[in-house]
Structure 1
């Protein structure tokens, strides 16, 4: 059996989008779906039949082909990360805790822990899943970690368009306003891009469109997302030091929090 998609739920309505997306992905990618629920703290275990009924009740189709996994833990994120490792999940799908306004999402402690400690890619679902992901944007700083994120995203979504997005800026732009300086920076970054592309396998480059976006990371990437209709953003992150030291820098955290589209965080593959 192929590696499953693990989707977390606490039976709350805010997790409905994540559950719906996981089911859609299971159908699209031909992977089984495991719906995981953590029984927190010292709460008494609900009777098996009643618990299964609660889980079935949060599915769009109560008869959907879904496996259930229940575990105990005082810390939901810790329990989910362990469950994903035990099930050898291909990805972990989670919803945001809440949002204050459009473009201001609160991830929550469970999502934060899984992002920093889970081995599998983590998909944070923000939008209702009306269709499969068709255009995937991968934010890149041309590092090995962003290369790994690109390759794993390509493997997870073999039919989707791939868009590599690199944001760049002129150092000390306030003192260097000449357009010539901007052109020089672009040329230098373009050479690094060419070297990065030369190190990718042909099946990936054949599906890949590159974008050199000028400006601060969140704004520059957001513009490409809007212009190209990208529906999934992928970020790479360091494994050893956790997501808060993501290779794209501290702005990556802001990008994950404010991006209006679904976002996947991929840590380096374990050797």
Structure 2
């Protein structure tokens, strides 16, 4: 088991409390310690100092004391409900840097954060703290969207047959070993939108798709063998077309409560440091999403 501790980064909002709750559930299942970190932004503190510089009271210290008190209340509730082993970290500085630095200091096996609900694509996700942490982190990041009632029951894993695919399956086996697992691969022909213009007829197009489907079926079979998955308890789906559409449709159809996928796209699907498919699913999916990357050698 490769997760030795968890870090939940909290801004003390209701959504980040859901994330801490989920992190506590996972920590208890794995019997590993959980750290909860809250970062007080230096920029916000400096703005407060400037606005209140004529007042003698130390509002800055009062703010820090209140933040620590809220953290302690959050931890006490989690201990009471789950019996989790919890450590607290109150940091000051640049939020993303402090989270990344503390995750490195702990060598956290999983980072857990609150995420906005589905549909908040451009305004709420792109450029958000979550995305900025995801860009810079090499650690698995679980984006929590709902208050957890139970452990994960149905998990969807979109795969591209890279090393990230096997690592994603391993993560599911670690944090949700009792969950029903569904593997999904969506395939597309290179330059598919231009093939007919290039003179590729319908028969040849269908033949090429059949070849891609068969190749994907064989690679799916090898992945299941390598991951030692129970074939009677694992479903596999192969689709032709837009991977984002198929993943979101299957998440709803199968009522999955977690999607686990790789951080980067492949080839023409890659966008910035986080693959465009991954970014769109993280922003639009109705359920929690776990983003993994290939672990360092």
TM-score tier (shorter):
0.7 to 0.9
What secondary structure, in the 3-state scheme, does the structure 2 residue paired with 1:37 have? strand
How many Å apart are 1:47 and its aligned residue?
Answer: 7.9
Name the SS for the 2:295 alignment partner. coil
How far apart in 1 are the matches of 2:6 and 2:108?
A: 6
After superposition, where does 1:66-215 map in structure 2 within 5 Å?
66-73=86-93, 75-96=94-115, 98-99=116-117, 102-105=118-121, 106-107=124-125, 108-169=127-188, 172=192, 175=196, 180-181=206-207, 182-198=209-225, 200-202=226-228, 208-215=234-241
Query: 1:213–1:221: 8 Å Cα contact kept in structure 2?
Result: no
Which has the higher mean CA deviation after the structures are superposed, 253-262 or 35-44? 35-44
> In the alignment, does 2:54 pair up with 1:28?
no
More helix by share: 2
Change (3 A) 1:236 1:243: farther
The structure 2 residue matched to 1:233, chosen from 259, 263, 266, is 259
SS in 2 for 1:202: coil
CA distance in 1, matches of 2:79, 2:30: 20
Q: Is the 8 A contact 1:237 1:265 kept in 2?
A: yes
Aligned position for 2:49: none
Q: Distance in 1 between matches of 2:230 and 2:156?
A: 13
Aligned-residue offset at 1:158: 2.7
- Cα distance in 2 between the residues matched to 1:243 and 1:28: 35
Distance in 1 between residues matched to 2:133 and 2:174, nearest whole Å: 21
The 1:186/1:228 distance shift into structure 2, 3 A limit, reads same
Change (3 A) 1:59 1:252: same
Query: What is the total number of aligned residue pairs between the two structures?
Result: 261
C-alpha displacement of 1:205: 6.0
Structure 2 unmatched ranges of 5 or more: 46-59
Deviations 1:190-230 (A, max 9, x none): 233234344x1425767533211333111111222222222
Unaligned runs of 5+ in 1: none
Match of 2:272 in 1: 244
1:168 to partner: Cα distance: 2.0
The answer to whether the 8 Å contact 2:24/2:78 transfers is no
In structure 2, C-alpha distance between the alignment counterparts of 1:191 and 1:3, rounded to whole Å = 34
Shift of 1:83: 0.7
**Does the Cα contact within 8 Å between 2:187 and 2:241 map onto a contact in 1?**
yes
| Root mean square deviation of aligned Cα | 3.0
Between 1:8-17 and 1:104-113, the stretch displaced more is 104-113
**Higher strand share goes to which structure?**
1
Question: CA separation of 1:63/1:186 partners in 2, compared to 1, >3 Å: closer, same or farther?
Answer: closer
Q: Kindly indicate whether the alpha-carbon contact (under 8 Å) linking 1:92 and 1:120 is maintained by their aligned counterparts in 2.
A: yes
